[in-house]
Every structure is written in C-alpha cells, then in structure tokens.
C-alpha cells in the first residue's frame, strides 16, 4: 500500500512542508489513516473544505484532544478559516462542553495566533447587552426551534425554570447571537460537539431538528458525521446516524 496522490495533495495543502515522524516509525498505519482521512472520507458529501475543518475543530474540543486540535488548527488557518471564525468555534464550545474543557483550547488558540503574528484581542463580535441578552436569546431560540421553546418553558417545574432562562440568556443570548458565524454554521458546530461528546442523544436529536429548521438538511448532517468519523470512531458515528435516521427517516 502507498499513500494515494489525492491524500498527499490534500495533506500538503493543509500542512505544507510537514514532516511526519510517524511516517518513519509507523509507516503502515500512516498509509491506512491518510488514505482514509485525507482521500476516502473527504470525497464524500457536499461540505466545502472550510466547513469540514470547522466541524472537525469543534469535535476535537468536545473530545479534549488538544494535540490534534493544535495540528488541525494550523491546517484550518492555512485553508482560509479566519481567526474570528476560530475564536467563535472555541467560544461556542463553552455552553456545550463547559469551561473546564474549553479553557485549555482558548489558551492554545491564543498561542497559535501569537506564533502567526495575529494581533489580539480580535474585533468584538457581541451583539447583546446585559439588558437584551435574554430577550434576543429567546427570540433566536424560537427562530431555530419554534414552538418547542414555549413547550419547554410551560413544562418546566418552578424550581428548574432558571435553567430554561439560562439557556435563553446565556447559551443563545451570549453566544448564538454573536457575529462571526451565521446560524446555520453555529448549528452544525453544535451538532458536531454534541455527537462527539457521546451520551447526549436527546440533545443531539433536538439539534438535528434545529439544523433542519435553519436549512441544514439530512445530507448536510450526514456529511458532517462522515467527516468526523476518523476523529470520533465508529461507535459515536453510528449513534449519530441512528439519531439522524430516527429524526429524519427518509
């Protein structure tokens, strides 16, 4: 077996002049992996290169794979993902994976930016204030999920309603309303993070519906799942496909 011409070309475009030590120590593995992850898998689906790399970055944060994130972040920047888009991916991970998991990725991103001469802080992307975050977040929730949001508020016990309000004001008001990424992309990122976490299938199904509502159809979501396969493995891939088929049978 040898690394295919397509795999070599795709790898070189993302990581020019990269010298892989594994090609020396583990050549058979690298041939198998590179042919799969940089030729076979990228050939499937309808996502552009930037979107593929953005959902991969989101997945790597959720999986806590910092070394691979650093490597893929270089490739993403080489492929045209902007610093603001990268920061928005990292920021959006916070309400889904928690700051304990996102903290190191914020610092790692800053270090890579500094090594590339990217001046920080970047331009601010917030569109809400403490006075408007709940109202704007709730409105965006309803835009994405429709009547489901009213139902969640109506069915919430009194001692748990604060969580619904946090979702509206914090998850959506503080993060989803930001500029830098459009709503369709943000929903793809959320889908990627939740499927990569594993064990969150009810929430994954909710965001499958959210993606459909904002225009990301089943084929787009299946393309995302496929691009993440080399990074999350088959069990979480198959779980995500099962959820997708249950929510969108055809």
Residue 241: C-alpha distances to residues 195, 201, 211, 235 (Å) = 10, 11, 14, 10
pLDDT(1) > 70 = no
113, 120 Cβ separation under 8 angstroms: yes
Give me the long-range contacts of 14-17 (CB less than 8 A, separation at least 24): 14/53, 14/74, 14/75, 14/76, 14/78, 14/79, 15/71, 15/74, 15/75, 15/78, 16/78
Q: What is the pLDDT of residue 250?
A: 82
> For residue 150, what pLDDT band results from cuts at 50, 70 and 90?
very high
What mean pLDDT do residues 146-167 have?
97
* Residue 223 to residue 215: CA distance in whole angstroms: 14
pLDDT of residue 212: 98
Mean pLDDT, all residues of the chain:
97
Q: Is the pLDDT of residue 127 over 70?
A: yes
| pLDDT tens per residue across span 76-121 | 999 999 999 999 999 999 999 999 999 999 999 999 999 999 999 9
Percent of the chain predicted with pLDDT > 90: 98
21-58 pLDDT, tens digit per residue, is 999 999 999 999 999 999 999 999 989 999 999 999 99
**Which residue's structure tokens are 């902007």?**
82
Q: Calculate the CA 52 to chain-centre distance.
A: 9
* Contact by Cβ (8 Å): 97, 193: yes
CA dihedral 143, 147, 148, 151 (to 10 degrees): 140
pLDDT of residue 166: 98
**CA–CA dist 121, 111 (Å, integer):** 12
Q: Are 121 and 86 in contact (CB under 8 A)?
A: no
């Amino acid at each position: 077996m040898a690394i295919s011409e397509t795999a070599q070309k795709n790898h070189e475009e993302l990581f020019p002049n990269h010298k892989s030590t594994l090609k020396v120590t583990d050549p058979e593995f690298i041939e198998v992996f590179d042919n799969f992850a940089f030729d076979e898998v990228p050939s499937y689906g309808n996502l552009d290169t930037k979107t593929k790399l953005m959902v991969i970055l989101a997945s790597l944060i959720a999986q806590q794979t910092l070394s691979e994130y650093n490597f893929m972040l270089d490739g993403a920047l080489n492929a045209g993902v902007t610093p603001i888009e990268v920061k928005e991916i990292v920021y959006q991970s916070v309400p889904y994976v928690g700051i304990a998991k996102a903290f190191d990725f914020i610092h790692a991103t800053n270090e890579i930016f500094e090594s590339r001469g990217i001046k920080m802080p970047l331009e601010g992307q917030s569109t809400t204030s403490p006075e408007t975050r709940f109202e704007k977040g709730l409105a965006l929730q309803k835009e994405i999920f429709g009547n489901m949001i009213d139902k969640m508020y109506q069915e919430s016990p009194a001692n748990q309603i604060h969580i619904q309000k946090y979702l509206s004001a914090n998850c959506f008001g503080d993060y989803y309303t930001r500029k830098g990424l459009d709503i369709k992309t943000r929903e793809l990122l959320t889908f990627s993070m939740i499927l990569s976490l594993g064990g969150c299938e009810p929430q994954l199904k909710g965001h499958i519906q959210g993606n459909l509502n904002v225009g990301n159809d089943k084929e787009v979501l299946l393309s995302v799942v496929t691009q993440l396969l080399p990074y999350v493995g088959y069990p979480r891939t198959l779980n995500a496909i099962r959820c997708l088929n249950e929510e969108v049978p055809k």
